[in-house]
Amino acid sequence: MTIRHATETDLPAIVAIYNAAIPSRMATADLEPISVESRFLWFKTRSPSQRPIWVIEVEEVIAGWLSFQSFYGRPAYNTTAEISIYIAPQFHRCGLARQLLAQAISESPSLGLKTLVCFIFAHNQPSLNLFETFGFQPWGHLPKVAELDNIERDLIIMGLRITKPVV
């Protein structure tokens, strides 16, 4: 298992993993698959030193990814990032999301981050449990803000303040 910075050549695998999450209606509000071309600008706006995208490989296969995204797009929020994690279905329940999240928390100070947030559907109990395990707390509840297959869904905002380890 290896976690590394994503490269442009990883983009098709990143998009395929994302698209695999759409039918479950658990992890994304997209309702139809996206294209590699539609994610090119998203990828290009990431910076390994500030807002990286990481992939996790298992036996040289990209099994998942994590991205940091600027929160709210205004300078006062520069020390806060939204994180997203997606794991390929065949690698679910293998602990890969846990490894990505642990690294994200550990590396946040070197990325200039003091706060991490994530947006999780209230019915996505596995993701809520994962983030709670790492100390994320519910910071917001947006009732019925998404409609997935004619079912209104709540969104939970989870947050974590990053504290530097005591040396």
Q: Is 90 helix (H, G, I), strand (E, B) or coil?
A: helix
Whether the Cβ atoms of residue 55 and residue 14 lie closer than 8 Å to each other:
yes
> Does residue 167 sit within a domain?
no
> Does residue 145 sit within a domain?
yes
State the Cα–Cα distance between residues 136 and 29, nearest whole angstrom.
21
Closest CA to 65 of 101, 30, 90: 101
Closest CA to 87 of 4, 8, 14, 34: 14
> Does residue 64 sit within a domain?
yes
CATH of the domain at 149: 3.40.630.30
Can you read off the two tokens belonging to residue 158?
């989870």
Whether the Cβ atoms of residue 157 and residue 141 lie closer than 8 Å to each other:
yes
The predicted pLDDT at position 165 comes to: 55
**How far from 152 is each of 40, 115, 141, 148, CA to CA, in Å?**
30, 29, 14, 6
The predicted pLDDT at position 164 comes to: 65
> Does residue 39 sit within a domain?
yes
> Does residue 120 sit within a domain?
yes
Range of the domain at 30: 2-161
> Does residue 56 sit within a domain?
yes
pLDDT in tens, the chain (167 residues): 999 999 999 999 999 999 999 999 999 999 999 999 999 999 999 988 999 999 999 999 999 999 999 999 899 999 999 999 999 999 999 999 999 999 999 999 999 999 999 999 999 999 999 999 999 999 999 999 999 999 999 999 999 999 765 44
> Does residue 166 sit within a domain?
no
Residue type, 12: P
> Does residue 34 sit within a domain?
yes
Taking only the tens place, the pLDDT of each residue in 38-82 is: 999 999 999 889 999 999 999 999 999 999 999 998 999 999 999
Q: What domain count does the chain have?
A: 1
The predicted pLDDT at position 166 comes to: 45
